Structure 1
Amino acid sequence: MDWAITGGQVLRDGRLEVGALRLAEGRVAPDGVGGRGFDARGLLVLPGLVDIHGDAHERCLQPRPGIGFAPRLALRDAATQLLGLGITTAYLGITLSWEPGLRSLESWRGLMAALEAARPAIDLRVHLRFEADNLAALPDALADIAAGRVHLVGFNDHTPAILKKLGNPKEVAKYAGRAGLAPEAFIALAEDVAARRPEVPEARARLAAAAAARDLPMLSHDDASPADRALFRGLGARICEFPMAEAVAEAARAAGDAVVMGAPNVVRGGSHLGWASAAPLAERGLVTVLASDYHWPALLEAPFAMARRGRMSLAEAWALVSANPAAAAGLEDRGSLTPGQRGDVVVVDPAGPAVVAVFCGGALAHLGAGGAARLV
């Protein structure tokens, strides 16, 4: 079905102006008439949100430590939540770790199978967050990359931080609960994993080569220094995700890398870990992409929070959550409302902000409060 979305403020060419948007054959069409109508008066008509890293699906899989649900159910509910928040392209940040339980190889395999069977309205993609020390899972990761089941490769390395916390019973209990192990067993496992640390560089190189062979975008996570960023750039990772210091973001941008930080950081007014604050870095051009990280609703809220700060317009801030992440991920067919682009559109009531309607691939995929009354 073709659509004519009329009367709203449409984001085009970096400006919000009252006009009409036509969707035909799944794409943004040139101006014209025809199609079923949607009355967007008083609303914003924006490119769909592109989430380059969101791992809130973990709470659909395991809402409480040790309490799990089938991947099929988790993905169904995750897709529903994402749609309701205007996210039309979602890279699920799936961690493949040496830890048992939620982030295990078994869980990874279950999610891969469920994704193959799923037919969600939104474009669900896989951001493989590969833990550096997970050497036993490397064959699965390489096979899934080669088979086209992975769309973004992330180099993670949380093991050193975990090892530093093994003397803290509270922290050990958190990790052990997520893994479904007794604290003593988790400590023993972590120490065994650390013993194979010298094998990590070769495994990283193999992972990078596999991603390059499929022309997949790569990113490094939690770079602590410009040297870290340079190391991963040398492997082909041109996205710097969650730099731990301003100097890292500066080095990344100087080299032309995309820099990702969390939308929750913007909405909450700073990092919950005490790291760099995303909003001022975005205003200086040092952060180019915002991702939902652990909280999907923050991705919709963040551009409005940026605009309220008064240094970026809403149109400029929207690029952080749509055009820029699409470009960083190599998705040239989305992120704007120019003719020929994929028909991914979110219609937003700015008073909330609240999602009134979502179109995915030119099809109406979600109606929020009051949305049905606007169909004409």
Structure 2
Amino acid sequence: MTGEVIFTNANVVTPQGTIYGTVVTRGETIAAVEEGTVRTGGVCSCGGSMVRDVEGDYIIPGLIEMHTDHLETQFQPRPGVLWPSALAALVAHDTQVVGSGITTVLDSICCGQLNEGKMRHTLLSMSVAAIRDARSKNILRADHQMHLRCEICDPYVMEMFEPYADEAILRLVSLMDHTPGQRQFCDYAKYREYYKQEDWTDEQFSGLVEKLKGEQERNAAVNRSVILAMCHRRGIPVASHDDTTEEHVAEAVREGITISEFPTTAAAAAKSRELGLGIVMGAPNVVRGGSHSGNISARELAAQGLLDILSSDYVPASLLHGAFMLHQQVGIPLHEALATVTANPARLLSLHDRGEIATGKRADIVRVKLVDDVPVVRTVWRGGNRLL
């Protein structure tokens, strides 16, 4: 537990807009947000309070990441290479997450193997065990929770999902179908490129496509139904993944799904808005100026008011950068752009104690300096404790 900390001479991004002022934290909580400054010369202790002059930098809420595959890259940094220490891999991931300004992260772990052989099964069990262990030892700086990504066409998905369905930190489940020829991979060539099968003969690739379509026909409907029922009984939010058509979205709503992750077309995003689904797009899509799979541009959706949340997906640093680019490139007010990585995910995940610089919220605070229009994380605090 910390005492009183005063952040002053700051551009404070509040839910209503940006003010020049001061934020006061006491213990784990934001105690006050005020216009104006406290006189100080850098960092000093005044009457038992720690006063920090942030020199005009931004004070923003700690970022909330709801879908990142980055942990998997630490466990498996090269194809066929499994890092020998699961704890070390998780701590390395935690370091990069916090350095990116993320104070709450849903580690997104895949349930399903398909083209990955047994490696996905191993990564799942290792990841969950490492998160449990590290949380019990209180060695993680960010608040790590879980998001299970379920490949519904996979014959082994239930075997992988069921043991973890009652994890207390399971905050989100997404239903994925990466069968080539639909959703993310309407373009077969993009599927072939993504899974590094360009060197296959056309005959080999056609055989794989037929095999995967057969798995979809046999498994997708029943797995989807069972996983949805399990999540609804437990009150776990469910996301639909890579919606492409209006019918994909309508089906999701009929099934009680509340989030559309990475819709691939403007039509699917517009239908999601009409039917009340939260719309998630990738921050790398924003930073790069387009989708790596050739699908809809996140900037285009944002300009049409069809984006609620950004996810860093595979690059943690893209989350903050993407939010600032929504402001700089699309013209969205900064407080609304930053809400896509703070208040909006907090609301959809029922994390009501965080996500805003507001009195009574948890003191998850990030100091950000703009350098050549790039947001640079200077310091990070979670629950009143300095992490960086």
Which category of TM-score, normalised to the shorter sequence, fits these structures?
0.7 to 0.9
Correspondence for 2:57 = 43
Q: When the two structures are superposed, what TM-score results if normalisation uses the length of structure 1?
A: 0.87
Matched, 1:57 2:59: no
Q: Which amino acid aligns with 2:313?
A: D
Q: Which amino acid aligns with 2:306?
A: L
Gaps of 5+ in 1: 177-183, 367-376
Determine the C-alpha separation between the residues in 2 that align with 1:298 and 1:165: 27
**Once the two structures are superposed, what CA deviation does each residue of 1:158-193 show, in whole Å capped at 9, x if it has no partner?**
134589969x987665599xxxxxxx8xx7798388
CA contact (8 A) 2:58 2:368 kept: yes
Gaps of 5+ in 2: 35-46
Determine the C-alpha separation between the residues in 2 that align with 1:320 and 1:153: 19
What percentage of residue pairs aligned between the two structures are identical?
31
Determine the C-alpha separation between the residues in 2 that align with 1:288 and 1:215: 22
Correspondence for 1:370 = none
Determine the C-alpha separation between the residues in 1 that align with 2:345 and 2:198: 31
Shift in Å, 1:296: 1.2
**Once the two structures are superposed, what CA deviation does each residue of 1:171-218 show, in whole Å capped at 9, x if it has no partner?**
665599xxxxxxx8xx77983883473332122111111111221111
Determine the C-alpha separation between the residues in 2 that align with 1:141 and 1:287: 29
Determine the C-alpha separation between the residues in 2 that align with 1:124 and 1:255: 31
Match of 1:309 among 311, 324, 329: 329
Q: Which amino acid aligns with 1:316?
A: E
SS at match of 1:135: coil
Distance 1:298 1:116, change over 3 A: same
**Once the two structures are superposed, what CA deviation does each residue of 1:90-122 show, in whole Å capped at 9, x if it has no partner?**
112211112345862222111111110013111
Shift in Å, 1:31: 5.4
SS at match of 1:357: strand
Matched, 1:361 2:361: no
Determine the C-alpha separation between the residues in 2 that align with 1:16 and 1:278: 24
Matched, 1:117 2:133: yes
**Once the two structures are superposed, what CA deviation does each residue of 1:42-62 show, in whole Å capped at 9, x if it has no partner?**
210001111111112222122
Determine the C-alpha separation between the residues in 2 that align with 1:163 and 1:40: 48
Correspondence for 1:225 = 245
Correspondence for 2:122 = 106
Shift in Å, 1:275: 1.2
Distance 1:18 1:251, change over 3 A: same
Distance 1:273 1:199, change over 3 A: closer
Match of 1:289 among 285, 309, 325: 309
Determine the C-alpha separation between the residues in 2 that align with 1:44 and 1:76: 27
Shift in Å, 1:340: 1.4
Match of 1:276 among 296, 308, 326: 296
SS at match of 2:170: coil
CA contact (8 A) 1:165 1:172 kept: no
Shift in Å, 1:133: 1.8
Distance 1:315 1:31, change over 3 A: closer
Q: Which amino acid aligns with 1:356?
A: R
CA contact (8 A) 2:260 2:277 kept: yes
CA contact (8 A) 2:173 2:239 kept: yes
CA contact (8 A) 2:18 2:335 kept: yes
Q: When the two structures are superposed, what TM-score results if normalisation uses the length of structure 2?
A: 0.84
Match of 1:27 among 5, 24, 29: 29
Shift in Å, 1:248: 0.4
Distance 1:188 1:44, change over 3 A: closer
CA contact (8 A) 1:95 1:103 kept: no
**Once the two structures are superposed, what CA deviation does each residue of 1:117-167 show, in whole Å capped at 9, x if it has no partner?**
01311111111110012232314413312232421000001134589969x
Distance 1:229 1:16, change over 3 A: same
**Once the two structures are superposed, what CA deviation does each residue of 1:310-361 show, in whole Å capped at 9, x if it has no partner?**
6212222111111111112221111101111111111000224110100012
**Once the two structures are superposed, what CA deviation does each residue of 1:36-90 show, in whole Å capped at 9, x if it has no partner?**
2322122100011111111122221222111221322221100000000101111
Determine the C-alpha separation between the residues in 2 that align with 1:81 and 1:341: 24
Correspondence for 1:181 = none
Q: Which amino acid aligns with 1:202?
A: V
Matched, 1:93 2:108: yes
Determine the C-alpha separation between the residues in 1 that align with 2:27 and 2:250: 43
Shift in Å, 1:226: 1.0
CA contact (8 A) 2:299 2:330 kept: no
CA contact (8 A) 2:192 2:198 kept: no
| Root-mean-square deviation over aligned CA pairs | 3.0
Matched positions, count: 361
CA contact (8 A) 1:101 1:107 kept: no
Determine the C-alpha separation between the residues in 1 that align with 2:62 and 2:169: 23
Alignment of 1:1-376 (within 5 A): 1-2=2-3, 3-30=5-32, 35-69=49-83, 70-99=85-114, 100=116, 104-119=120-135, 120-161=140-181, 173=196, 191=211, 194-195=214-215, 197-309=217-329, 311-351=331-371, 352-366=374-388
